[in-house]
Amino acid sequence: MPNDAVVHVVDDDVAVRKSLAFLLASDGLAVRLHESATAFLDEVKDVEAGCIVTDVRMPGIDGMEFLRRLKARGSILPVIVMTGHADVPMAVEAMKEGAVDFIEKPFKDEVFLAAVRSALLRQDRNLHQTPELLQAQARLDSLSERERQVLDGLVAGKANKVIAFDLGISPRTVEIYRANVMSKMQARSLSELVRMALLVEGVNGTGAS
């Protein structure tokens, strides 16, 4: 992890900014606070070591547009998006736009810090390292056709009930397939599962199926 790494917190809620600043500082991480995506884009001109943590819903430039503008100006800072449960489909779309992870609110401190540490380490390695890609591809190949269909639904940000309706099976059956997918992909969270699926998709230029 670079010694000069800075965690940029972008959120319009001042209480959230202060809370996350305290948490990050207590873990020994340098932090800068920004009240909006516009403020970040105006204040941070040069590429720095670190990462960005941003809310997906903000007035003005929201998380999705923020990602697009970062990409347009060539930023290499990894981005983590924070999302409410209802915004998971948007968070999944954000990952397709380049975000490296998403965290559902409310989240535990250790979950947040683990995501930040992982994002900071990404600058020290190539995201598409061959071993990681081969592992993800091998795990994906181990899925049955139905498990892949469920995975496609999860990557699309669909709820279990919607996936069940689309596939003509019960929500309980979807839960079973979802558990099998998580196990076979060795994913500890939905965000990690989506990241692995998108990693393979990005290299192959196709969907998970």
Residue-wise pLDDT for 158-188, tens only, equals 999 999 999 999 999 999 999 999 999 999 8
Q: Are residues 10 and 90 in the same domain?
A: yes
CB-based burial, 60-70: b 16+ in 10 Å, e otherwise: ebbbbebbeeb
Domain-ending residue, one of 97, 122, 147: 122
Nearest to 103 by CA among 119, 88, 117: 88
Residue bearing the bigger pLDDT, 121 or 53:
53
The pTM for the full model equals: 0.65
Q: How many structural domains are present in the chain?
A: 2
* Domain assignment present for 161: yes
Helix (H) or strand (E) holding 195: helix 190-204
Q: Are residues 103 and 171 in the same domain?
A: no
* Domain assignment present for 143: yes
Q: Token digits for 92?
A: 């999944």
Q: How confident is the model at residue 106 (pLDDT cuts 50, 70, 90)?
A: confident
Dist. CA 101–CA 179, nearest whole Å: 20
Q: Judge whether 192 and 111 are in contact, CB under 8 Å.
A: no
Residue 209: per-residue pLDDT:
43
Average pLDDT over the chain, rounded to whole?
Answer: 87
Cβ within 8 Å of residue 22, ≥6 positions away: none
Q: What is the mean pLDDT of residues 99-125?
A: 87
Q: Give the domain extent around 49.
A: 6-122
